[in-house]
Amino acid sequence: MNIDITSTIACAFMAVGVFFAMTSALGMIRFPDVYTRIHAGTKALTGGALMTLVGAALYYPAWQVKAKILLIALFFLITNPISSHAIARACYLHGIKPTVSYKDDYGENLNNNSEETER
């Protein structure tokens, strides 16, 4: 049985990616409010998807496949933080409060900016 070292490393990256994805799913279920769930979905799932994509890129030898995987990874890196920020901002503007106590720096800045634009 001939096991290639590249295939082994690719499988290890994919296994780490699956672990991050499972951790993200667990966080989405267990965390108490929308903001911490967004955090779990963004951080862990992005890491899991990128690790899985790195494993896939190592597994396939064709450069065309690697180029496509690189484009998918760039798409993940660009869109996932932007979309999670947009969702969190929409939740904040609709008045959804976190379940833990916090200092609202964003609300103070938002109120100051709206007062300046009214002048």
**pLDDT tens digits along 108-119:** 777 666 555 555
Cβ contact 88:38 at 8 Å: yes
- The residues, any chain, with a CB within 8 Å of residue 23's CB and separated by 6 or more, are 40, 44, 48
Is this prediction's pTM over 0.85? no
Assess whether pLDDT exceeds 50 at residue 1. no
What pLDDT digit, counting tens, does each position of 36-62 carry? 899 888 888 888 999 999 999 999 889
The pLDDT of residue 7 is above 60: yes
Three-class HEC string of 45-84: HHHHHHHHHHHHHHHCCCHHHHHHHHHHHHHHHHHHHHHH
| pLDDT number for residue 99 | 81
Supply the range of the domain harboring residue 32. Answer: 1-118
Q: What is the pLDDT of residue 114?
A: 56
Domain count, the chain: 1
State the Cα–Cα distance between residues 98 and 101, nearest whole angstrom.
7
